[in-house]
Structure 1
Amino acid sequence: MTSIVPTFVAVPEGIRLYTLYSTCFIVTLGIIGNILNILVFNTLKLFRGNPCSFYFTFESIMNIGSLITALILNTITITRTTDTISCKIQSMLIEIFIPLSLTTVCLASIDQFFSTSPIAYFRQWNTLKSSRLYLSIAVCIWILHSIPIGIFSYSYMRIICILSDFKFIHYQLYFYYPILLGILPMSISSIFSLLAFRNVRKIIRRQIPIDRRRLDQQMTALVFTRVIVLVVLYLPYVIYHMYWYNPSINQTNYMYFITLYSIGAFINSFILLNNGIPFYIFLAVSSRYRRQVKSFLVKKIWRRCKRCYYLNRNQIIPSRKLSDELATNMD
């Protein structure tokens, strides 16, 4: 007996609630954390002009865009059926934000290796101007790469977006997910972060200012931890999509399809978590970063709020206005 594929499948209620609550929770924490990352890396004088902090700032901006996009798209998915137009937009945005996040972490690990290198020639490559150039090239490449994905995407059973072109499916299965999102960025970021970690252990022998030495040690620790978190949270995403695009999988089986969709909902929350927790990871691994965040919140935010509050309370009323009020009261 052949299985009949329904044209519409309702998302299970448990998956709807999990997607809604987990998305709202992660997006809220993530937006707060990424905004604080941006403010700290751009406000404190220590981080200004540092290419690695520039990469972290750019990643935080991408994370905010990814979180807001996920919140909007997940809300649409769990409240109504998914049409082809929203699928095309969703697929293009995902294929821009996710590779850019991976690329930024890779560039940050490479930059930190050059920054801590004992070879002066390598340290000359570590400039803010070159970092902006590399990120501009990466943005252009991934935007162009997302166009064919948007063209070939369509709504399947009105709850999920899949590709219609078999050649592009094979490209995704055998090159995009295993190489571009898997082996290549994870290997590059892991190798260069380990090399930077090795360099920073020997940095005490070099005659450099102590502030620069501490900054290199701090940024290396942040990059190394960021790479570990990225590999742990992205690996299930890559494996799941390679399995999903496997031609031997029968996606016309209704129950099997729902099971895969439910697993994908949990795995997608890992990607959201990766975009939402860098700030909290930095706080956990770096005591210096905790002090810097505390200093920023106390000196820049809290004192400014107190100054504005007391300024409004102690505002002096002009004498002319005061005399007019007294004359009015006497009348």
Structure 2
Amino acid sequence: MSVLQAAADLSFWSPIILFFIGVPGAFVSLIVFTTTKQCRHSPTVYYVVGQSLSDVAILLIVLLQSIPSTSMSTSSISCKLLVFFSQLTVASAMTFLCLSAFDRWACTSRSVTVRQLSSLHTARCIFPFPFIVWTLINIPYLIYCDVLPSISSCVFTNAVFARVSVYFLAPIFSTLLPLFVLMIFCMLTYRNIRLVTHSHIQQQQHSVRARSSTWEQQMTRMMIAQTVFSVLCTLPRSVFLIYTIATVDERAMRSYDQIVVELLIDQITLFIVSLNFASSFYIYFLSSARLRATITSLVRNLFTLKHNQVVPCSMPLSTHPFTATKQH
């Protein structure tokens, strides 16, 4: 198999695989985190719900782009909408992931002031902002993206915005900046947990245990696992984007073999970073015993309801003759 064929096969099959793996998991996350009473008391749940919604949208957009009849090159409308929503959903998903990491750092902090940043009221207020902010920022994609008839491809119609998007908006906001934020808050959260574990001040240990319920501890574990996995998935793509930007002036001098190899690396790193949007539920499931027990209980109750359905049945009624005697 040639390198070009391998890149083509990966670009065709990876969206299908990711869609059928990630979408069911995202829907299960939405059901579990929105219907379980203990989950709804955690501020992180709002960010998990926002990330799950964004993940479903991302996987659907990636799948539509791989289908010729719905790809970006079919019409001007599909070009504008798919580019716009792909930028919006990826940035929103990474923002919610960063907010989850921030919330876990605030929740595990020994500072009362910082801990107050982790609250249901704060999460409710912040929840709509990623969608609103990224919608406004990405409006230029609706204006400066269109299908070029001569090559039947979706391209930028404005050279200035093309450079801003390629060198700033797409790599910084969707990859490099979230990677930096995730790494910072992951290390800070781990440091908070270590300080609590090894502290010799019993009063502070008792206050931390009092405010950290079992479910909050499980949420912290899930978010740390998800953050570490996201960093590992995002890092290869970040390195490739930095290399692409640094060598943009050398493209004209590259040979055919170099272009094909870079195309394969592009598809591989794109597949790896896309795992970040298809794996959240499975990371949560593997890292939290409490979540596994909750899902098991929900499934058991579901099957119990199915087996305990009420069906009509006929019951024979036995009647005994009643005789009355007249008393004189």
Pair in the same fold by TM > 0.5: yes
C-alpha distance in 2 between matches for 1:79 and 1:53? 34
Alignment map for 1:24-173 (pairs within 5 Å) = 24-76=16-68, 82-155=74-147, 161-173=154-166
* Equivalence for 2:236: 236
* Equivalence for 2:279: 277
Gaps of 5+ in 1: 1-11, 320-331
Q: Deviations along 1:12-61, whole A, 9 cap, x unmatched?
A: 76555433333222211111111111111112211113111221111111
Q: Which amino acid aligns with 2:132?
A: C
1:248 aligns with 2:249: yes
Q: Deviations along 1:172-192, whole A, 9 cap, x unmatched?
A: 354334532344322222222
Residue aligned with 2:45, SS:
helix
8 Å Cα contact 1:251/1:257 also seen in 2: no
Decide whether aligned partners of structure 1 residues 155 and 238 sit closer, same or farther in structure 2, where only a CA change above 3 A counts. farther
Q: Deviations along 1:66-94, whole A, 9 cap, x unmatched?
A: 11121122113798954444222221111
Q: Deviations along 1:300-322, whole A, 9 cap, x unmatched?
A: x2223323xx32xx224799xxx
Shift of 1:109: 1.0
Question: What's the Cα RMSD here?
Answer: 3.2
| Number of residue equivalences | 303
Q: Deviations along 1:175-228, whole A, 9 cap, x unmatched?
A: 334532344322222222222233234556133566933223211211111112
Decide whether aligned partners of structure 1 residues 13 and 189 sit closer, same or farther in structure 2, where only a CA change above 3 A counts. closer
| Aligned-pair identity (%) | 21
1:302 aligns with 2:299: no
Q: Which amino acid aligns with 2:272?
A: F
8 Å Cα contact 2:47/2:100 also seen in 1: yes
TM-score by length of 2: 0.79
8 Å Cα contact 2:7/2:267 also seen in 1: yes
Q: Which amino acid aligns with 1:304?
A: L
C-alpha distance in 1 between matches for 2:143 and 2:254? 26
Residue aligned with 1:117, SS:
coil
C-alpha distance in 1 between matches for 2:72 and 2:84? 20
Q: Which amino acid aligns with 2:292?
A: R
8 Å Cα contact 1:117/1:199 also seen in 2: yes
8 Å Cα contact 1:19/1:265 also seen in 2: yes
Q: Deviations along 1:273-321, whole A, 9 cap, x unmatched?
A: 211111111222222322222122222x2223323xx32xx224799xx
C-alpha distance in 2 between matches for 1:173 and 1:279? 31
C-alpha distance in 1 between matches for 2:144 and 2:269? 23
C-alpha distance in 2 between matches for 1:241 and 1:152? 22
Gaps of 5+ in 2: 198-204, 317-328
